[in-house]
Every structure is written in C-alpha cells, then in structure tokens.
Chain A
Amino acid sequence: MKKNLIILFLLIIFPFKAFALIEVDITRGNLNPLPLAVSPLSIDDKSKTSFKKILKKENIGSEISIIVENNLRTSGLFNPLSKDAFLQAPDIANLKPRFEDWNLIKAQALITGKVTYVNEKLRVEFRLWDILAAKEMMALAFTTVPSNWRRVGHIISDKVYERLTGEKGYFDTRIIYVAEEGPKTQRKKRLAIMDQDGANNKFLTLGNELVLTPRFNPASQMVTYLSYFKNLPRVYLLDIETGTQEVVGDFPGMTFAPRFSPDGKKIIMSFAKDGKSDIYTMDLENRLVEKITNHPSIDTSPSYSPNGKYIAFNSDRSGYQQIYIMKSDGSDVRRISFGNGIYGTPVWSPRGDLIAFTKLHKGNFYIGVMRTDGKGERLLTENYYQEAPSWSPNGRVLIFYRETKTNAKGEGFSAKLWSIDLTGYNERLVETQTDASDPSWSSLLSN
C-alpha cells in the first residue's frame, strides 16, 4: 500500500517537472488606436464616368474610403494612416497586397476594395487584411442604388469595427434631435434627423409647435416625442421610413420623457398630477395605460433595461433627486446612486451593463456612467450645462447636448451635440446645421 502510494506520487510529480512549459501571463496591453490603412477603393474608368454623371462625384471609390476613414478615426479606436504613405496602388492592393509594404508604414490592418457600376447599381466589394499575419480577415460585397453610397461607407465601417473590436459598430445609424434657432427666450424648435456623422440632415417638423424629447424605438425606425398642442403636451409616434405620424394620446397634466420599451411595444413615461409625478406605461397595441409607481414623490425619466425586466428612473423620495431601479411591474424599488449631488436622466445601456446619467454637483453638470448596482461610478465629462445622454446601439459611445453660458447681455448662448466614449478621452463635437439639443441615437439601420 505504501509502495503504491509512493509510485503514484512519483508518477504525478515527475511528469509535471519534466514537461513543465514556461508560462508568462500577459495581463496588460495598450489602448492606443490601432494603426490601419484605408486604401481608396479602386474603380475602372467606365464606372467612374457613370458615377460622375449620377452622383456628381469625381471618384466615388475615394469618397467611400474617406467615409470609412473618418468613421474609424472618430471612434477613437483606430488610427487611419495618411494615404500619402501608401506604396501600393488601390487596384493592385485589392488583388493581393504586398504585406511588406504595408508593414513598412506600420499598418496592422488594411482595407481595400473595388467599386463598379453594374445594371445601374453601385456594387462595392471590400476586403480586410491582417498585415502582420499576412492573411485576409474578411471579404464582403454590397449592391445598392448609387444614391446610397454613403451608407455603403458606413456599413463597411461597421463590419471592420466589428471584426477588429469584437462588438457591433454604430456607424450605419441616425440621430434624431431638436434643432433650435433664434434667441434663447424665443427658440424655434424643430425635429431633425441626420446620419451619425452629421450628413443628410433633414427637418421633420415645421417649428410651429414646441417639440421635446424625441426617442428612437430600439427595435425599429419609429420615434416617439412630446409636442405641445394648444399648450397641452401630446405624445406622438412618428415613422421615419413612411413619414406617418400619430397621436398616442392626450394625458392629464404634464407629461415627461416618453421612451420605448426594448421590444418597441410599449411606451413608458411620467405624468405629473396633484403635485406628484408617477411612472406609467402604455401598450401601443391596445392603448391601455398602467401605473407603475405610486409614491408621493416625483418619479420621472424612466428607462427600461435591454431585457425589459427592470426600469431605471429618478425620484426625490429620499429628499433629493437620485437614481432608482425597480422591476418592470414596479416592485422591488432600490436606490442605486449614493454619491454627492443630484442625479437624473438615467439611461440603460443597450449592452445592459451600465446606466448613463446626468449629475449636478456644486453648480457643474456631469455626464457619467455607473454599473446597474450603482457601483463603479465614472464621470466622463464636466461642463457648465449638459444633459440628456443617449447611447450608441453598441453601448460604447454617448451623445448628449451641452449649452454655453450667456454673457451679461444675454449673448453667446448656444446648444450643441457632443459625443464621448466610455474611456472619457474621446470627446467630439457633432456638427449640426443649427443649434441642437435632446439627441437620440437610432439602432443600426442594417443588421
């Protein structure tokens, strides 16, 4: 028995010693933007002439590659290299890149492609190459009407982003916002929509009535917003694809911040009545209204979790405004924000892991995120006045609006859209034709 034990012991110990492989744990890396090269998409002369007639663009291949390049750069995760450094012509690179040449300029990935005019349609094929591994990572082709060329650029960006980062992109999306014009006391507010990069801006309302808080349906291209009609707030539904608009209902008292449920079948909002405000849902199919909270405090800004099981909202039930979460039936209410200051406008991330919020502390406004249990609060940006964060569909970037301080004469006021990613370092101004507020990010147009 003793001998057996010793043999067993030796058998266990010795092989391990003999074949022990040296292991090194790599737990850190760099978060620097990945250097990549976006080669202009090659195009033959015949197609070039055709597209020039239709789209008034000299070289549609280059234009698409510029869109891809800009998208990837604004994400903050990629560093597109200057085209001046490229050693290989686009048409040859698309066939078979000389990896040594691209390695020489320190590119780790390469995007090549080809544009052709086929049956009055735009056909784009593109390839993503891993320069260091000297292999193709992805190859796709799209055919669409020529006027859709910008979207092709966005779709390519999304595919590249997804392949290299492991999460879906957010470039083939739109942003709806309130376009503002005129002096601060007499603002003309219109509903407007644009691509996420600011192109294709369109005004959806005329500006005769005040519009507020437009919110995209996460499941479709439907929008809900508030508009004042005869000084009474109304909740509207607007289908972006068809342009049809309908009134969801007139509600007693003040109504705030309607927002869709994740499946798009309900709207959740708050009504103010008798000095208190509660949260209600309305089923869009049968228009039945259900009261979710019943508390003598002011409960507003409800936002569903992506699985629809929980609701985040803000309430002053503890004495001053804080963020709470509850089950979707209104039970199990828990406060999650405990930091200094006032918290508001909680918005649940589409990934489900974080809640974005606006915080007011010592006269400054912050946009921040916290985990759904309230821990890990991170303030991403601070300013004089900013609020209304809205998530990109991949839960990586937040868009919000920021107002500037007026001077003593009441001049200098402006409201602009800004975006910031979760690192807090990549803050960018989103260009709009007019002043802008209350942005809402759509889901991906193509999936």
Chain B
Amino acid sequence: MEAFLSSLVSVAFHGLAYGMILYVISVGLAVTMGLMGFANLAHGVFAMAGGYILTSSLQHTSIPFPAALVLAFVAVAAGSVVLERLLYARLYSAGELEQVLFTIGLIFMAVAVARLIFGTLQAPVILPDYIKGQYALFGREFPTYRVFLIAVSGVMIAALWFGVERTRWGAMVRAAVDNRAMAQSVGINTRRLFTLTFALGSGLAGLGGALGAEIVAIQPTYPLEQLVFYLIVVAVGGQGSLRGPLVAALLIGFSDTALKYWLPQFGAFFIYVATIALLLWRPMGLFGRRV
C-alpha cells in the first residue's frame, strides 16, 4: 500500500511536470491560434528559435540562465513582428487552408535554415547548478529542473490569464477576434493590436522552446516533430480560450504518465487514442466555442 501511494505521488508529480512541459511549448500557439484564430503551424519555428537563442547564449556568452530566457522571449517576439508585418498580416483574412499551406512552407524553410546554421546535431543545454539534480520535498526527491519548470509555468499561466481576462488589452483582443470590423469602428487600432498579440504569442513560443529545451531537445527538425503535440493540446483544449489548452495539457500529461508507468506496453499510443476519443466526444474541444 505504501509503495502504491508513493508511486501515486511520483505519477502525480511527473504528470504535472509533463503537462506543464506540453503547456509551455504550446501556450504560444494557444495565443496565435486559440485567441487570434490564425492556424500558425509554424509555431514550432518560433519555439526552436527561442531554444537556439538560449543554448547558443549559454554556450558562447556568460549571461545567466534567467537572462537567457528573457532574451529568448524578447528576441523571438521582436523578430516575429517583422515576419508578421511582411507575411502573416496578409493572411489574417485568408482561409484556413491558405494559412496551413503558408505556415507549413515556413516550417520547411526554417528546418533547412537551422540545419545550415547550427548543423544537424542537437544543441546542448548548459544548466546552472542550482536547477540541476534532485530537490527533496516531503521526504521524497523530485528532479529540480521539473520543479523549476512547474513554478515558472505557474507564474506564466497566472500572468497570461490576468492579461487576457482582466486588462483593457485583453478585452480589446477578445473584441477584435470576435468582430474585427466592429472593433475597428469603435476606434481600436486592430492592426497594431494584432501585431502586438502575435508578438506575444511568438515570444511565448520562444520562451517555451527555451524552457523546454532541457527536456525536448532543440535541433533542426524540432518544428515538425513537436507539431503534433501543439496541435493536440490546442485542439483538445478548444479554440478561443486560454483555459482549454491548460486543462488539455494537464489531462494528457497526467493520463499519459500514469499509463506509461503502470501499463508501459500501451504507453506509446495512449495520447493519440485519448485525443481521438475526446474530439469525438467534443468536436470543438473541451472548452471550444462554436464560431
């Protein structure tokens, strides 16, 4: 019994950590796709860029780890503004198929460029000592980096929720997404608003890629390989909300971990079965709104 309880604690912790990893790498997409309604499959490109910024700056400069995380956010957000003005903005009113084709093309280009610049090998993450090793809590030991990840994600979730639900900016974004023409006619500069929101989503993607780099290795094919996980989180969570992807990520994190622990021979495909079942049950996602 004690062994079972102790494994239950482990599964709960690792499930939470895995859910947070999934959320962290997908949260940027929850903003661009979930909030703005743009099917940005190239989300992983921004995450990969953030990851490379983190790994390169830790490897070649002496800036501390938290500063490298901030740098990943800021640099990716700034870079995305250029892309948004040049490319994305033209496709806001286009259909989903055009958006998907366009962003898939971006992925292939980014994969080739990353291979040219960084080579094909994975980029090493040099962590500072204070987030390495194990962390003792209630007489059990937990991996320190995952504790750190859960804490940072918690702060990020709170800040994002507050920003979207409780600030004037959040209200303007929600208004502009629901009815852009009406929002414009009441004097909201939707063009600037969308640029800023897109920058936020991309910055979060960069931050997620950087935070997750220790667990989900950064290498040129990252945007393609992780794509399925972002899409699962956002699709299961449902478009148009920030709460949905969080619940979806946690649900998948917990159940996937539990199954891999207790029934490892089925662990491989559970996440996909769960996705299919959930979407059959609720085609719009857990918290999706009919648009």
Query: Real complex partners, A and B?
Result: no
| Interfacial residues, chain A to chain B (CB-CB below 8 A) | none
